[in-house]
């Protein structure tokens, strides 16, 4: 923090009075800093990459349709944004959160993908824009992760054979999807904040336009969303019949990413989900 303090003050035209570390995930160091005029900001710092600029782009895209922190400045090695004071969930928090996500998914693009590649965790996420959802999801999500697993010596013959079978079944499983919804892309319990009013804010996105059901791959993987959330979502934009089965294929992308990020401890869950996807 000290090494960037003067730079931030110069770039933003402010004077930092105090700061303290806070939780920022496993990739970045994070701080809350307060200026001499009593304004608070949230800062993430890390090694130089395109990650923070891509995060800025993603938050700006989401801001067109939902509640996200405002970004004040982004460089290769840090990002400064609005500080959201954490609070507690209220009775209708998750129902309203579900409604808000449904409204986000009603914000549509003309193609699947995004105007730039970005990151999911620290893994590059390829967003080459395509007309076909099945082709996009196979090429830019599943096949990319399989190739990465092979480079990381994490792929087995059984995994490769399973993916070969899945490639043939993807059109049948996913069907013809024509609507490209704006997605957060990595929505789990660590990537939203409940503020002091009980409202949910989205953070740390991996934004792209895709089939809205893909959002639920991560939502359903690690918990953190109660039934009220799904009730609220379906009140605004009801999920289509059979989404639970298709959800296995969408969970597979995130499990493959965890395999590549964290190692072989995720291999069993990957194989189980792959088999369920093919069933």
Q: Is 195 a catalytic residue?
A: no
| Per-residue pLDDT at 12 exceeds 70 | yes
Pairing mode, if any, of strands 118-120 and 123-125? antiparallel
How sure is the predictor about 199, in pLDDT bands with cuts at 50, 70 and 90?
Answer: very high
User: 29-63: per-residue pLDDT in tens?
Assistant: 999 999 999 999 999 998 888 999 999 999 999 99
Q: Are 117 and 125 in contact (CB under 8 A)?
A: yes
**Rounded to 5°, angle at Cα 50 from 131 and 116:** 15
For the segment 76-84, the average pLDDT, to the nearest whole number, is 95
Where exactly does CATH 3.30.200.20 map onto the chain? Answer: 2-82
User: 141-194: per-residue pLDDT in tens?
Assistant: 999 999 999 999 999 999 999 999 999 999 999 998 889 999 999 999 999 999
Comparing CA positions, the residue from 193, 213, 190, 212 lying closest to residue 201 is 193
State the Rg of the chain over Cα: 19
Rounded distance, CA 203 to CA 12, Å? 22
Rounded distance, CA 35 to CA 267, Å? 47
How sure is the predictor about 1, in pLDDT bands with cuts at 50, 70 and 90?
Answer: low
Find the DSSP H helices in the chain.
2-12, 51-62, 93-105, 133-137, 144-151, 157-174, 215-219, 227-236, 243-262, 267-278
- Top CATH class of 2-82 equals alpha beta
pLDDT score, position 48: 81
User: 220-244: per-residue pLDDT in tens?
Assistant: 999 889 999 999 999 999 999 999 9
Active-site residue identified among 100, 186, 204, 211: 186
Rounded distance, CA 95 to CA 98, Å? 5
| Per-residue pLDDT at 3 exceeds 80 | no
CB atoms within 10 A of CB 257: 24
First to last CA, the chain: 51
CATH code, 93-278: 3.90.1200.10
| Per-residue pLDDT at 92 exceeds 80 | yes
Beta partners for residue 194, in sequence order: 200
Return the structure tokens found at 115.
């105007």
- Note the pTM of the prediction, 2 decimals: 0.95
How sure is the predictor about 6, in pLDDT bands with cuts at 50, 70 and 90?
Answer: confident
| Per-residue pLDDT at 121 exceeds 70 | yes
The total number of residues written for the chain in this structure:
279
Where exactly does CATH 3.90.1200.10 map onto the chain? Answer: 93-278
């Amino acid at each position: 923090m000290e090494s960037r303090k003067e730079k931030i003050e110069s770039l933003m035209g402010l004077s930092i009075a105090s700061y303290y570390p806070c939780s920022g995930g496993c990739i970045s160091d994070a701080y809350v800093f307060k200026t001499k005029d009593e304004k608070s900001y949230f800062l993430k710092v890390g090694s130089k990459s395109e990650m923070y600029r891509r995060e800025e782009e993603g938050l700006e895209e989401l801001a067109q349709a939902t509640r996200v922190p405002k970004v004040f400045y982004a460089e290769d090695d840090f990002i400064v944004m609005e500080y959201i004071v954490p609070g507690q969930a209220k009775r209708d928090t998750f129902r309203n959160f579900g409604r808000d996500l449904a409204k986000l998914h009603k914000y549509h693009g003309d193609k699947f993908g995004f105007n730039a590649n970005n990151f999911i965790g620290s893994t590059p996420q390829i967003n080459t824009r395509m007309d076909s959802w099945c082709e996009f999801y196979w090429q830019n999500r599943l096949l990319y992760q399989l190739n990465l697993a092979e480079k990381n010596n994490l792929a087995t013959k059984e995994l490769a054979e399973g993916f070969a079978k899945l490639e043939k079944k993807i059109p049948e499983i996913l069907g013809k999807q024509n609507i490209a919804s704006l997605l957060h892309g990595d929505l789990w319990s660590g990537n939203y904040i409940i503020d002091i009013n009980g409202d949910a804010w989205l953070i740390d996105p991996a934004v792209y336009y895709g089939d809205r059901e893909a959002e639920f791959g991560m939502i359903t993987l690690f918990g953190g969303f109660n039934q009220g959330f799904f009730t609220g979502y379906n009140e605004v934009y009801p999920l289509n019949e059979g989404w639970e089965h298709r959800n296995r294929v969408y969970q597979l992308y995130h499990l493959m990413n965890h395999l590549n990020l964290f190692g072989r401890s995720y291999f069993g869950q990957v194989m189980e989900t792959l088999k369920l996807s093919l069933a």
